Amino acid sequence: MSDGSSSNSSPSESPFERVSSQTLRAWDNAHVWHPFAPMTAFRQENVPVIARGEGFDLIDVEGHRYLDGISSLWCNVHGHNVPEINQALHQQIDMIAHSTLLGLAGEPSIRLARALIERAPSGLTKVFYSDSGATSVEVALKMAYQYFRQRRHQPEERDLFICVGNAYHGDTIGSVSVGGIDLFHRCYKHLLFETLTVPSPSAFHAPQGWTPEGWLQHCFDEAERCIRENAHRAAGFVMEPLVQGAAGILVHPHGFLKHVRNLCTQYGIPLIADEVAVGFGRTGTMFACEQEHVCPDLLCLAKGISGGYLPLAATLATDEIFDEFLGEPIEGRTFYHGHTYTGNALGCAAGLASLELMDRNEVLANVARNASLLQQRLDEIRNHPHVADVRQKGVMVGIELMRDRDRLEPFEPSRRTGHLVTLAARQRGLIIRPLGDVVVLMPAPAMPPHLVSHLCDIVFESINHATSSI
């Protein structure tokens, strides 16, 4: 443990001083704790040290170029080093980089809030800023909980959130509580609050003894039963619309989102839509909820909100929820929640520039073209002896690998087959990141079709390489 004194008596080198790639890796191994990384193995892999980006490529300190196949963890929209976003940031930083929204307002945050509301599903009128996908969900949970406690016409002590199995909503305590991926969260179970989980409507993962059709019907029925039986306690229903990303790109059947929306309306339960991963065009529409004509009560946004440039998030709310927080200061109806960088001017300026580019460059039309292209290219891999399932929604793709696709026999976890695909792809000039043995393709919404096709070429080669010894 540290005794409070520093072991470094001399100043560190200038951050702009040129050092070798070997030195950078040594410093990385010595000092940087990477997220979701088994650090013993990670230190041995000589991962690329990224120095810059150009278009849809990442370039490391040794000059190697890699196609960014996961849009920098699902957040990049237009590519890297985008002139229009760069210019917006230069203009903003010449004015001010950050002040605060606590007791003050800021022009970029006002303009971005207006732009988001103009594009969001009808009924969402208020924007509360935060810093990440997890905090946007945390905000929504606290809003829903407090909303019921101080409703004027019928205050209630509702204390239960209903969630979908295998969900991932982030890594703060509240967002972990409404998550359902045991690998990520089992260690923290005694820190979490009680939730109720309905089964994930994934036909491929139907339990033994169920037909795919029977399992999906069961999922619809269980959602209805859980909502009906717990309506008196439920403060909200939390879900990722259409696609559960970190669960392995699990694509919900058409109508499930609308089914949940109708039940929440019938029983007076706020619907919290987590569009952190699926928003800003990745499923084919600006927001996934649009595809089933759903307006949630609370909408959580992050990742692509700034074009992938800066940490920024927003929780959008309806007037019905917002109005229950109004009153004289002495009443204590205030939403007592905030972050130092709430509504950061640089992040909001990047967000505005990104939205303008989405309109000007018709990015949603590009997503439609790429979605069609991906569907065609993925047909080439569907019959691979180790590809058990291929799931796609828009430009979100999951390829699930198994040792025996016919008997649904998985690979031994110790083999890390998905990771082997990642290493093979890296050798071929592509950056991807798997979810276990699900190979994820997540091209940026604005990526040109020829690069999406190149992405498929490398992924297919890498799957062949990683499974060739079986």
* Per-residue tokens: 305: 């909100």
Q: What is the pLDDT of residues 437-463, one digit of tens each?
A: 999 999 999 999 999 999 999 999 999
Residue 17 has a pLDDT of 77
- Contact indicator for 108, 96 with CB cutoff of 8 Å: no
User: Is the pLDDT score of 37 beyond 50?
Assistant: yes
CA angle 29, 74, 111 (to 5 degrees): 115
User: Is the pLDDT score of 3 beyond 50?
Assistant: no
Parallel, antiparallel or unpaired: strands 396-401 and 438-441: antiparallel
Structure-model confidence comparison of residues 46 and 2, the more confident one? 46
Give dist(CA 181, CA 165) in Å, integer.
8
Helix 345-360 and helix 363-378: axis angle, to 10°? Answer: 70
Q: Can you tell me the mean pLDDT for 111-122?
A: 98
User: Is the pLDDT score of 40 beyond 80?
Assistant: yes
Domain range 86-360, its CATH number among 3.20.20.70, 3.40.640.10, 3.40.50.10860, 3.30.413.10: 3.40.640.10
User: Is the pLDDT score of 357 beyond 60?
Assistant: yes
Q: Using 50, 70 and 90 to split pLDDT, how confident is the model at 13?
A: low
Least confident of 6-15, 247-256, 312-321, 328-337: 6-15
User: Is the pLDDT score of 1 beyond 80?
Assistant: no
Cβ neighbour number for residue 239 with a 10 Å cutoff: 27
Q: Can you tell me the mean pLDDT for 133-148?
A: 98
Q: Regarding the domain delimited by 48-78+363-467, which CATH topology (the fold level of the hierarchy) does it fall under?
A: Aspartate Aminotransferase, domain 1 (3.90.1150)
Q: Can you tell me the mean pLDDT for 274-303?
A: 98
Q: What is the pLDDT of residues 155-191, one digit of tens each?
A: 999 999 999 999 999 999 999 999 999 888 889 999 9
- Of the candidates 54, 57, 59, the one whose C-alpha atom is nearest the C-alpha of residue 81 is 54
Mean of all residue pLDDT scores within the chain: 95
Q: Using 50, 70 and 90 to split pLDDT, how confident is the model at 15?
A: low
User: Is the pLDDT score of 7 beyond 80?
Assistant: no
Residue 245 has a pLDDT of 98
Q: Can you tell me the mean pLDDT for 130-146?
A: 98
- In the chain, where are the structural domains located? 48-78+363-467, 86-360
Residue 2 has a pLDDT of 44
Stated pTM of the model: 0.95
Residue 18 has a pLDDT of 84
Residue 14 has a pLDDT of 53
